[in-house]
């Protein structure tokens, strides 16, 4: 059985539950980063796109069953007159409820090429195991 991590706005069957929207203290935009979640026998892997975020400005917290991700993006210096603009600047925020089948003490993360990779290891009791059948 897969660990239950669902979005709070609705069950998506991926084991994460999405939290509330963030409030910006800087007056800028706040974006919900695009997230992909994969499951292996040992863990869930969460991939969060955080382009422009500095690794030292990423705050990933687990508290009372909730995993919260915040990423600060420094404002860029703009020289010259903007002729066409599609790029939007802002910080990132996303929050998920984490099921107790995840071993919260072993949650780990790495940041590579603008992508935060969060390792959510399954607790031993949640991992599938082979049951031997005895012949009598």
Q: What is the pLDDT of residue 67?
A: 94
Number of domains in the chain: 1
Question: Is 136 among the domain residues?
Answer: no
- What CATH number has the domain bearing residue 57? 2.60.40.790
- Tell me if 10 is assigned to some domain: no
Question: Which strands make up the sheet holding 43-49, listed edge to edge?
Answer: 35-39, 43-49, 115-121, 108-112
Residue 38: strand, helix, or coil: strand
28 within domain boundaries: yes
pLDDT in tens, 22-45: 444 556 678 899 999 999 989 999
In a domain? residue 25: yes
How far is 5 from 62, CA to CA, in rounded Å?
A: 14
What does the pLDDT read at residue 19? 46
Residue 4: count other Cβ atoms within 10 Å of its Cβ.
18
Contact between 48 and 33 (Cβ < 8 Å): yes
Per the domain annotation, does 11 fall within a domain?
Answer: no
* Measured distance CA(33)–CA(48) in Å, rounded: 6
Residue 132, in any domain of the structure: no
Does a structural domain hold residue 31? yes
Mean pLDDT per 10-residue section of the chain, whose length is 136 residues: 42 44 58 93 94 92 92 85 84 90 93 95 82 89
Q: Is residue 4 part of a domain?
A: no
Name the residue range of residue 40's domain: 16-75+90-123
CB 109 within 8 A of CB 60: yes
Q: How far apart are CA 130 and CA 24, in angstroms?
A: 48
């Amino acid at each position: 059985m897969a660990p239950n991590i669902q979005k709070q706005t609705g069950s998506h069957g991926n084991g994460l539950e999405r939290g509330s929207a963030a409030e910006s203290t800087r007056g800028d935009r706040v974006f919900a980063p695009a997230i992909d979640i994969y499951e292996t026998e040992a863990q869930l892997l969460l991939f969060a796109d955080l382009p422009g975020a500095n690794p030292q400005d990423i705050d990933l917290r687990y508290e009372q069953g909730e995993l919260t991700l915040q990423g600060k993006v420094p404002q860029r210096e703009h020289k010259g007159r903007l002729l066409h603009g599609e790029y939007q600047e802002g910080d990132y925020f996303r929050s998920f409820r984490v099921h107790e089948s995840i071993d919260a003490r072993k949650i780990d993360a790495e940041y590579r090429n603008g992508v935060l990779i969060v390792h959510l290891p399954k607790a031993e009791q949640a991992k599938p195991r082979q049951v031997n059948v005895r012949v009598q």
